């Protein structure tokens, strides 16, 4: 019968090799594998300048939702504010980002702010701007 000390002779070496393998695998996730393709990820609402230009003061919520779509963020505590956010990323790198905030007073559009400059902030007369754009439902 062979002596038992041979069985435990390579035990510390096994522990060392396993811990080195775990360390190296963890380092690979931190640095990243070279040549790995990362896809572009688009999240949020795509809002264009043409869509923002269609917004007029006095439009109701239904008309705004028809033009811009369902907002990404509807604040529970401030239901008169809708946020449209769009982010395009490649891994952790942000390629494109845009924001548009729409504010209502009651059921009427009163303010637009964000990355898109619209005639809402510069419109001096609200009577001419309160007419809905052609082809947009009035909600009546």
What's the pLDDT at 122? 45
Question: What value does the mean pLDDT take over residues 99-127?
Answer: 74
Evaluate whether residue 23 is within a structural domain.
no
Evaluate whether residue 112 is within a structural domain.
yes
Q: Which domain holds residue 78?
A: 40-129
Evaluate whether residue 22 is within a structural domain.
no
What's the pLDDT at 126? 44
Evaluate whether residue 137 is within a structural domain.
no
User: How many structural domains compose the chain?
Assistant: 1
What's the pLDDT at 59? 93
What's the pLDDT at 128? 44
Q: pLDDT tens across 1-32, in order?
A: 555 556 656 677 788 888 888 887 766 555 66
Whichever domain contains 116, its CATH number is 3.30.1450
Evaluate whether residue 33 is within a structural domain.
no
What's the pLDDT at 125? 47
Q: pLDDT tens across 122-132, in order?
A: 444 444 444 55
DSSP the chain: ---GGGTTTTHHHHHHHHHHHHHHHHHHHHH--TT----EEEEE----HHHHHT--TT--HHHHHHHH-S-SEE-SS-TTEEEEEEEEEETTEEEEEEEEEEEEETTEEEEEEESS--TTTT-S-HHHHTSPPTT-----
- Which one has a higher pLDDT value, 74 or 10? 74
Question: What value does the mean pLDDT take over residues 86-115?
Answer: 89
What's the pLDDT at 114? 87
């Amino acid at each position: 019968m062979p002596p038992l000390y041979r069985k435990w002779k390579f035990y510390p070496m096994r522990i060392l090799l396993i811990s080195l393998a775990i360390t190296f695998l963890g380092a690979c996730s931190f640095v990243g594998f070279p040549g790995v393709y990362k896809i572009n990820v688009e999240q949020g609402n795509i809002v264009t300048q043409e869509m923002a230009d269609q917004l007029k003061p006095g439009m109701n919520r239904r008309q705004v939702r028809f033009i811009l779509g369902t907002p990404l963020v509807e604040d529970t505590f401030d239901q008169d504010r809708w946020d449209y956010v769009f982010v395009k990323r490649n891994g952790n790198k942000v390629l494109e980002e845009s924001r548009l905030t729409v504010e209502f007073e009651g059921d009427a559009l009163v303010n637009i702010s964000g990355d898109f400059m619209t005639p809402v902030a510069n419109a001096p007369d609200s009577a001419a701007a309160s007419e809905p754009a052609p082809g947009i439902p009035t909600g009546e």
